[in-house]
Chains A and B, each alone.
Chain A
Amino acid sequence: CCDIRSLEVEDKVISPEKAEEAKLKARYPNLGHKPGGSDLLRKRLQKGQKYFDSGDYNMAKAKIKNKQLPTAAPEKTEITGDHIPTPQDLPQRKPSLVASKLAG
């Protein structure tokens, strides 16, 4: 319900949500204009992706062809770009051999 006073200050009263939005846009001016849209959803769908696609793989292969093949094992943390991952390089994820502490 409106009374005259609240109508007068309407322009100045911003909902807490809009105030938070203004804060966010001030910190990240380049934030996408499609809120909650494709970018966020696609990030969600790609969860678990360890390496980029074969395009990345072929680019890296082309670069390395011109260099000497490294003899030492590449650092495990370099996983994209210049580094071609091989099954041997992948950190072996073993299942927990320890029983759950809930059962302890």
Chain B
Amino acid sequence: MAGAGGGNDVQWCFSQVKGAIDDDVAEADIISTVEFNHSGELLATGDKGGRVVIFQQEPESKNQPQCRGEYNVYSTFQSHEPEFDYLKSLEIEEKINKIRWLPQKNAAQFLLSTNDKTIKLWKISERDKRPEGYNLKEEDGRYRDPNTVTTLRVPVFRPMDLMVEASPRRVFANAHTYHINSISVNSDCETYLSADDLRINLWHLEITDRSFNIVDIKPANMEELTEVITAAEFHPNQCNTFVYSSSKGTIRLCDMRASALCDQHSKMFEEPEDPNNRSFFSEIISSISDVKFSHSGRYMMTRDYLSVKIWDLNMETRPVETYQVHEYLRSKLCSLYENDCIFDKFECCWNGNDSVVMTGSYNNFFRMFDRGYRQDVTLEASRENSKPRSVLKPRKVCTGGKRKKDEISVDSLDFNKKILHTAWHPLDNIIAVATTNNLYIFQDKLN
């Protein structure tokens, strides 16, 4: 079957791969987040070493009108650094948990990046001209002897090689006792939320010394703790609405107009479970690792360990669609618990028109589900399929019985090769897929 993704005739091709080829992966190089900006022109990655790399799409060249522009490095900077909280004996990792772009308002680009404790607003701006002809300074910056100045001239701007500068404009710190898992910019473009395991805070982008707590699920007695917040997101166009997911598989939708503290949800989305099927693993695998609204705002998607679910915001009782990502892992849960893989947090994403959803799996496989055509496909991000514009061949996992040629058996899957982070261009069929330390860019085949 041809690759699913916006029609049943879409074929995905390799475009680019970024990162080192060697197998010896330094911890700092582990990619921890991937995000396109609102136009898709920029693609940001964050890593465990606290660094952000931004790629920019080259404009389509006139020579090759059938090819979309490549993504090349635009800017890179150290966003967060490791810290030690002496008071709590807590090591604060510099790993970038999430990056979220602000919609563009002027020539500069802005993004929010966060580690476990601190959110920062970064401004990325271009400089392509510089003033020359100062009266009191030489071209290299040294001050001239005022006695040598005999004439006055007006400095002029002259073109220079493009320089992209990243500067931290705001630091939002000291508002989270627990580890931040999500940030989400409001559609009002003035506020954003940050969520940790037990609390969600609302910030104004201009104000760093204050934030409002809008959700607090910390029990008075920590012995009674039964669930934590796993992800949160603002609605794409209703600025009063946000959702947060939990480790128990529930999603709560809150309306900030209802009260200052949104501990009482407006809607609670939960799929009923058959009590006969309950096992030790049930709650762990029902924990939601990601929640994303559709671009339309009508639906939301959740990712739990084995599946992706689409929910209609108008129906709380069960999802409208459920897609199995790797159901064959259900009979491997014991070993996946022992090697901690059962706690892996996979993300998910929508394509631009909400017709296809994508998520990662193991063995560097990733999956796409076409909601309209009811088709799904498994593709692989690997250097072996990295000839320019080569079409990706669908992969198949053999779940039992005789293994066909080209299939891979469940026991041969490499659980160290996990694709946790994927992103889809907001307008085009271009996807960014992060393996442990490499970033793959795939595009659909243009004829």
Distance in angstroms from A18 CB to nearest chain B CB is 5
Given contact pairs A93-B82, A95-B94, A38 touches B228 in the complex (Cβ within 8 A): no
CA distance in complex: A32, B89 (Å): 28
Collect the chain A residues with CB atoms within 8 Å of residue B331's CB.
Answer: 16-17, 19-20
- B247-301: which residues lie under 8 A (CB-CB) from chain A? 247, 277, 279-284, 287
Collect the chain A residues with CB atoms within 8 Å of residue B338's CB.
Answer: 24, 27
CA distance in complex: A93, B330 (Å): 39
Give which listed residue, A20, A47, A98, A99, contacts B333 with CB less than 8 A. Answer: A20
Number of interface residues of B (CB under 8 A): 56
- A63-80: which residues lie under 8 A (CB-CB) from chain B? none
CB–CB B49/A25 < 8 A? no
Collect the chain B residues with CB atoms within 8 Å of residue A94's CB.
Answer: 82
| A45 contacts the other chain (CB 8 A) | yes
Given contact pairs A17-B277, A17-B333, A25-B280, A51 touches B89 in the complex (Cβ within 8 A): yes
CB–CB B280/A45 < 8 A? no
- Tally the A-B contacts, defined by beta carbons under 8 Å: 136
Collect the chain B residues with CB atoms within 8 Å of residue A100's CB.
Answer: 29, 45, 47, 49, 51, 53, 76
Collect the chain B residues with CB atoms within 8 Å of residue A49's CB.
Answer: 88-91
| B445 contacts the other chain (CB 8 A) | no
Number of interface residues of A (CB under 8 A): 42
| B73 contacts the other chain (CB 8 A) | yes
CB–CB A17/B281 < 8 A? yes
Closest partner residue, chain A, to B177 (CB atom): A45
Interface centre among A24, A40, A41, A103 (most CB of B within 10 A): A103
CA distance in complex: A7, B44 (Å): 55
CB–CB B279/A93 < 8 A? no
Distance in angstroms from A89 CB to nearest chain B CB is 11
| A15 contacts the other chain (CB 8 A) | yes
| A1 contacts the other chain (CB 8 A) | no
- B322-368: which residues lie under 8 A (CB-CB) from chain A? 330-334, 337-338
Collect the chain A residues with CB atoms within 8 Å of residue B76's CB.
Answer: 99-100, 102-103
Distance in angstroms from B247 CB to nearest chain A CB is 7
Give which listed residue, A16, A36, A85, contacts B287 with CB less than 8 A. Answer: A36
| B380 contacts the other chain (CB 8 A) | no
CA distance in complex: A103, B437 (Å): 12
CB–CB A35/B283 < 8 A? yes
Closest partner residue, chain B, to A25 (CB atom): B280
Given contact pairs A35-B282, A95-B82, A41 touches B91 in the complex (Cβ within 8 A): no
| A50 contacts the other chain (CB 8 A) | yes
Collect the chain A residues with CB atoms within 8 Å of residue B334's CB.
Answer: 20-21, 23-24, 27
CB–CB B86/A87 < 8 A? yes
CB–CB B280/A21 < 8 A? yes
| B39-65 vs A, Cβ < 8 Å mask (1 yes, 0 no) | 000000101011101000000000000
| A37 contacts the other chain (CB 8 A) | yes
Collect the chain A residues with CB atoms within 8 Å of residue B280's CB.
Answer: 21, 24-25, 31, 35-36
Collect the chain B residues with CB atoms within 8 Å of residue A103's CB.
Answer: 53, 73, 76
CB–CB B287/A96 < 8 A? no
Collect the chain B residues with CB atoms within 8 Å of residue A21's CB.
Answer: 279-281, 333-334
CA distance in complex: A58, B330 (Å): 47
Distance in angstroms from A16 CB to nearest chain B CB is 4
Give which listed residue, A23, A36, A95, contacts B50 with CB less than 8 A. Answer: A95
| B431 contacts the other chain (CB 8 A) | no
| B163 contacts the other chain (CB 8 A) | no
Collect the chain B residues with CB atoms within 8 Å of residue A101's CB.
Answer: 19-20, 29, 437
- B403-425: which residues lie under 8 A (CB-CB) from chain A? none
> Could you list some 11 contacts between A and B, CB below 8 A?
A20-B334, A24-B280, A35-B280, A36-B287, A48-B90, A48-B93, A48-B116, A52-B89, A93-B82, A100-B29, A102-B45
The chain B residues found within 8 Å of chain A, CB to CB, are 18-20, 28-29, 31, 45, 47, 49-51, 53, 73, 76, 78, 81-82, 84, 86, 88-94, 116, 178-179, 197-198, 222-228, 247, 277, 279-284, 287, 330-334, 337-338, 437, 439
Nearest 9 interchain pairs by C-beta: A36-B283, A16-B331, A93-B82, A96-B49, A95-B81, A51-B89, A20-B333, A101-B20, A21-B279
**Given A20-B279, A42-B222, A48-B92: 20 more A-B contacts, CB < 8 Å:** A21-B279, A31-B280, A35-B280, A36-B287, A38-B223, A41-B225, A41-B227, A41-B247, A44-B228, A45-B198, A48-B91, A50-B89, A50-B91, A95-B78, A96-B50, A100-B49, A101-B20, A102-B19, A102-B53, A102-B439
